[in-house]
Amino acid sequence: MEKIKAFSILRVRMTGFKRFKETYEVELDKVTYVSGANGQGKTSIADAIAYAFCGTPVWGEKTCDRLQNAECKEMRVEVDFVDQDGEVHSLIRRKVGNNTTIMLDKVQVRQLDLTSVFADKEIFLSVFNPLYFIEKIAEGGRELLMKLLPVIDEKDILAQMSESTQALLENESLLDPMFYIKKKREELKEIDESVTYFEGQIDLLKTQQREAAEKVDGVIAKGEKIIARKTELEEKQFSGIDVEALKSRQAKIAENLSGERKTKLIEKQAEAQNRQYKSKFADEIAKVKAEIEALSNRCKTLTAQAKGIKLGDKCPTCHTVVTEANYQSIIAGIKALYDEAYKKGQGTMQAYKELLELDEKSKAKFEEFRAEDLKRIEAELAELSGSDVSEIAMLEDRIRLGNLTEEEFAELNDLIKQADAYAVEVNALAEADNATEKIAQIEKSLKASQTQKIDITNLIHAAGEFVAKKAELTFNQLKMNRASIKLIDVVKTTGEVKDVFKFTYDGKDYRWLSTSEKIKAGLEVANLLARLTKLNYPTYIDNAECITTGIDSIHGQLIAAFARNTQLTVIHPHRQNVQMKEAA
């Protein structure tokens, strides 16, 4: 059966329905007035129509038990109606026990079939009962309205926006603009983090550059002193000494010593004399020393930053703009960083001292073992040769020390290590000198991120305008006379659109309306839904005595119920001869 988009009810017959134990029939016209005292059956007519079409009472309750007369085993409602083409139809819903049957034009149908011919329960009752949508569906009405509202084409929305906005959104996908805005905000957050990182790197490199510039003179002076003393000792060590001749003499004497044992002892003696102490703590000591210097520089930097900070500057640690309100907290933050670095430096210095002590003990033990080895070897050699062995030992010392004393030789070895460390430090300073190039590269990346940030921010604003324009065009369909339904709210701070459901009448919340205002508001909503669905169904108004205006705005069939201290009376004001029918 084709969709019935408009119909008028001709008559309703009720049997075993509420107070009507016996069959009661009421004829309806284009306009029908029903009056009577409470309990006489005015609302029963509305319940009967709703039950016939939807299988529920007029307020949409899930159970229909209250509709059946307690003294009857069968409940039956018959509705004769005429559709938009002038064809007359009959709809019968009958309930016996737990079984319900529906007959449409003498053909048994299901409720699902009935819904496909007319409309689903929510729409039918919202058009038929003007107060149903607001009082029963409430916020669920938002979803219902969104389904009924027409979809506005993206091109039509863009066509009503500025040329600059159109250009921005031309190649963007806005099928789901809120998801688009969410993703763009995530991108913006990542870019903000990149900007903060780049700014921090630039500040760090500039700080290192300043510190290197302040430090370079002292490093150079210290290095020149080390190199000068090292050169002095190196020149003195073998000045006037023919080392190769000494080695030849030593080898010749060794050849003259008889026996394999002497040769091995001499080799052991040479090995023991040339044995150098190799610290197993050297790498750790250098690492801890470097950490101490880094922490010391960190403390100096933080002290300089705290002293130099001014209102209006950016905090060098958190990059927040310094104001009178946050000045003390920023200073406190820098001090906390200083205290942390200082405390860590104290702990590291203690570890450094302990490493030096361990190294000294290890070196002393090494020298002790070396001296014992030499003493033992010399004693054994003394037994074998005498003067030859002593000369070899003397030659070995000469070859090793040259013109230096043991103290000068040890100093020279220490200076060689210091010179190596100085070279490392000079390389580090040279690296700081290259910071200008690094800063330029990072500033280029920073500028690109800032440009990207502006572009994305513009896209977010444009998408927000798109959402607002889309809402404006979509919700124009919801315009009513005095009633108003609001389905979205825009958060001013972020431009975010939030789903809401707000119903007002003359600007007042529905909860605070009088009965007459609620009825008038409900009629506007019923007309709105009829317009959106293009349905022209009957409308039932309860407590019609509360209103004097608004009834004439109904385009379809009207059934108005008035509370009067009389029996149930039905009046058809448009008929020439007014007929009244009272309940038996």
Q: Could you read off the pLDDT of 497-535 as tens digits, one per residue?
A: 777 888 899 999 888 988 888 989 889 898 888 989 999
Exposure class string for 451-468: b at 16+ Cβ within 10 A, else e: ebbeebeebbebbbbbbb
pLDDT > 70 in the chain, percent: 90
Total number of residues shown for the chain: 584
The whole-chain average pLDDT of the chain stands at 85
Residues 228-261 pLDDT 10s: 888 988 888 888 888 888 888 877 777 666 556 6
Per-residue pLDDT at 12: 97
542 with 523: CB under 8 angstroms? no
Q: How confident is the model at residue 581 (pLDDT cuts 50, 70, 90)?
A: very low
List all residues 6 or more positions away from 533 whose beta carbon is below 8 Å from its beta carbon: 119, 123, 127, 148
Mean pLDDT for 140-146 is 79
Residues 207-223 pLDDT 10s: 876 776 666 667 777 78
Per-residue pLDDT at 426: 72
Mean pLDDT for 428-454 is 82
423 with 248: CB under 8 angstroms? no
Amino acid residing at 344: K
pTM equals 0.55
Residue 135's CB is within 10 A of a number of other CB atoms, namely 13
Q: Name the DSSP class of 544.
A: G
Give me the residue spans of the domains in the chain.
7-148+510-582, 186-426
Per-residue pLDDT at 118: 94
List all residues 6 or more positions away from 368 whose beta carbon is below 8 Å from its beta carbon: none
Instruction: Give the Cα-Cα-Cα angle 290, 296, 302 (nearest 5 degrees).
Output: 135
Per-residue pLDDT at 503: 87
Q: 580 pLDDT exceeds 50?
A: no
- The CA–CA distances, whole Å, from 313 to 134, 262, 300, 439 equal 56, 80, 19, 20
584 with 15: CB under 8 angstroms? no
Q: How confident is the model at residue 492 (pLDDT cuts 50, 70, 90)?
A: low
Residue with the bigger pLDDT between 400 and 31: it is: 31
The closest of 17, 73, 93 to 583, measured between CA atoms, is 17
568 with 40: CB under 8 angstroms? yes
Report residue 544 as tokens: 């019609």
196 with 319: CB under 8 angstroms? yes
Q: How confident is the model at residue 119 (pLDDT cuts 50, 70, 90)?
A: very high
Residue 316's CB is within 10 A of a number of other CB atoms, namely 20
The DSSP bridge pattern shows strands 539-541 and 558-563 to be: parallel
Distance, in Å, from the CA atom of 262 to the CA atom of 389, rounded to the nearest integer, reads: 9
506 with 517: CB under 8 angstroms? yes
Residues 308-320 pLDDT 10s: 888 888 888 787 8
Supply the CATH classification number for the domain 7-148+510-582: 3.40.50.300
The closest of 555, 566, 458, 558 to 33, measured between CA atoms, is 558
Q: How confident is the model at residue 576 (pLDDT cuts 50, 70, 90)?
A: very low
